[in-house]
């Protein structure tokens, strides 16, 4: 243990020296600038708070992270959790601790958790159950026999063969229609089920409808009882489709602190405050990478400067950042819940969701959040 502590203090001293050299070269803010940065978390009953140094992080690296965060145009919140403690917290551009934010597609990871909880309760029998088992009203209309074989697992993995909606205006219009069950037949497959990855918001919406149908209630109500309540989360609005189903692909509103609780849940193998909320087997299966180079048609093999080797699990992303493997939930505009098992670390960013805006500006600001988090993780010395 003594040798570990010596190595840790050496790494912190080295990091501080590198920051000093860089500041002298005009590359980063000065030591004085960093010492003036405030990121102390607000004490509250929902989180135990601590300091970076007490939890083994260089406070100057954390200060640099928050210095950069304060310069960003569309960032709303940034939280860092280490060893289960909230060690840093900031709100920007007029936002505050009590506000509930639209998580965009980070919602998909919550939908995945609810599928796992439902399976643990024996509602769907397993991930191998067929999608059409839950939509008997469309079976007679299906003309493509491949759709009869699509499983819950393939929906979770985005490997069911359905297309990415932004690839064609008609597909996008279908997604915006809010009537999703008929699109099981109406949307053509672009690959044989199980063979290729294609990002599909509709598959997440169908998963949400399945949870609602097997639970006999809305997905939000099911979540409040079996996911949110054990985490001490009070959700805000959760948008619905034209038939009243909560959208599995997005539109859940939470505070940044509550989003961080979900990240901590998955970091701790589904356990929160001593309670097994989601099974450890489901967490492990969800964070597997079933697809490598996921989303390469949009982002290439990297997202920003630091996230590379992008993979996809059960509605969760994975990547390599610096020396570390990371798993993360992600939503348009820069909603990130990043977990790093090796470091016992959770990082949350909340940003302008650019709702229904898909432009170069929205992607630029989203990528800025990836760069913010990635740059920080990349700066952390190996433990």
Quick: pLDDT tens for 58-90.
999 999 999 999 999 999 999 999 999 999 999
CA distances from 312 to 73, 144, 279, 293, 341 (A): 29, 26, 19, 8, 17
pLDDT at 2 (0 to 100): 38
Look up the CATH architecture of domain 2-98+253-379: 3-Layer(aba) Sandwich (3.40)
What are the residues facing 238 on neighbouring strands? 252
Residue 299 has pLDDT above 60, yes or no: no
Closest CA to 131 of 221, 210, 17, 222: 210
By C-alpha distance, which of 293, 242, 265 is closest to 112? 265
pLDDT recorded at residue 9: 52
CA dist 36 and 86 (Å) reads 20
Task: Provide Rg for the chain, Cα atoms.
Answer: 21
Task: List phi, psi (to 5°) of 359.
Answer: -135, 175
| Alpha-carbon gap, residue 223 to 219, rounded angstroms | 6
Three-state helix/strand/coil letters over 175-212: HHHCCCCCHHHHCCCCCCCCCCCCCCHHHHHHHHHHHH
- Tens-digit pLDDT profile for residues 264-298: 999 999 999 999 999 999 999 999 999 988 865 45
Spatial separation of the C-alpha atoms in residues 175 and 127, rounded to whole Å: 24
* 20 pLDDT more than 50: no
Q: What percent of the chain has pLDDT over 70?
A: 91
How many CB atoms neighbour CB 377 within 10 A? Answer: 22
Cα–Cα distance for residue pair 211/159, rounded to 1 Å: 19
Q: What is the pLDDT of residue 70?
A: 96
Kindly report, residue by residue over 152-211, the tens digit of the pLDDT. 999 999 999 999 998 899 999 999 999 999 999 999 999 999 999 999 999 999 999 999
d(CA 6, CA 129): 53
Rank 27-41, 61-75, 354-368 by mean pLDDT and report only the highest.
61-75
pLDDT band at 44 (very low <50, low <70, confident <90, very high): confident
- For residues 228 and 220, give the distance between their C-alpha atoms in angstroms, rounded to a whole number: 9
pLDDT at 85: 98
- Choose between 10 and 288: higher pLDDT: 288
**Same fold for the pair 2-98+253-379 and 105-231:** yes
Q: 0.85 cut: is pTM over it?
A: yes
Whether the CA torsion 23, 29, 34, 36 is positive or negative: it is: positive
Q: Are the beta carbons of 261 and 348 closer than 8 angstroms?
A: no
**What's the token pair of residue 5?**
């502590």
| Domain spans of the chain, in order of start | 2-98+253-379, 105-231
pLDDT for res 26:
43
Buried b (16+ CB within 10 A) or exposed e, 286-312: bbebbbeebbeeebeebbbebbbebbb
Topology (CATH) of 105-231: Beta-lactamase (3.40.710)
User: What is the tens place of the pLDDT at every residue in 84-139?
Assistant: 999 999 999 999 999 999 999 999 999 999 999 999 999 999 999 999 999 999 99
- Which residues does 310 contact at the CB level (< 8 Å), separation at least 6? 292, 293, 294, 295, 296, 299, 301, 302, 303, 317, 318, 319
How confident is the model over 336-348, as a mean pLDDT?
98
């Amino acid at each position: 243990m003594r040798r570990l502590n010596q190595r840790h203090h050496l790494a912190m001293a080295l990091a501080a020296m590198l920051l000093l050299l860089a500041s002298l070269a005009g590359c980063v803010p000065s030591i004085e600038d960093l010492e003036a940065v405030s990121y102390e978390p607000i004490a509250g009953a929902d989180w135990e708070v601590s300091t970076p140094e007490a939890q083994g992080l260089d406070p100057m690296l954390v200060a640099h992270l928050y210095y950069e965060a304060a310069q960003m145009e569309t960032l709303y919140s940034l939280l860092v959790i280490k060893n289960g403690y909230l060690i840093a917290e900031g709100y920007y551009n007029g936002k505050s601790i009590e506000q509930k934010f639209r998580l965009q597609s980070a919602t998909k990871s919550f939908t995945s958790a609810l599928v796992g909880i439902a399976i643990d309760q024996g509602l769907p029998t397993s991930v191998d159950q067929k999608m059409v088992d839950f939509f008997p009203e469309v079976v007679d209309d299906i003309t493509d026999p491949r759709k009869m074989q699509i499983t819950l697992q393939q929906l979770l993995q985005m490997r069911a063969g359905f297309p990415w909606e932004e690839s064609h205006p008609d597909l996008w219009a279908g997604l915006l229609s809010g009537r999703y069950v008929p699109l099981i037949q109406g949307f053509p497959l672009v690959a044989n089920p199980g063979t290729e990855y294609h990002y599909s918001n509709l598959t997440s919406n169908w998963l949400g409808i399945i949870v609602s149908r097997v639970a006999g209630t809305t997905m939000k109500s099911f979540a409040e009882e079996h996911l949110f309540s054990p985490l001490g989360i009070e959700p805000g609005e959760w948008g619905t489709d034209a038939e009243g189903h909560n959208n599995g692909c997005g539109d859940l509103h939470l505070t940044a602190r509550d989003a961080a609780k979900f990240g901590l849940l998955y970091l701790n193998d589904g356990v929160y405050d001593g309670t097994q909320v989601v099974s450890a087997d489901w967490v492990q299966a969800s964070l597997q990478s079933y697809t490598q180079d996921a989303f390469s048609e949009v982002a290439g093999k990297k997202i920003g400067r630091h996230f590379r080797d992008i993979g996809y699990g059960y509605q969760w992303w994975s990547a390599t950042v610096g020396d570390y493997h990371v798993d993360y939930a992600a939503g348009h505009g820069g909603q990130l819940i990043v977990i790093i098992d090796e470091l016992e670390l959770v990082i949350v960013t909340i940003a302008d969701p650019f709702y229904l805006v898909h432009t170069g500006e929205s992607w630029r600001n989203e990528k800025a959040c990836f760069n913010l988090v990635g740059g920080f993780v990349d700066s952390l010395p190996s433990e």
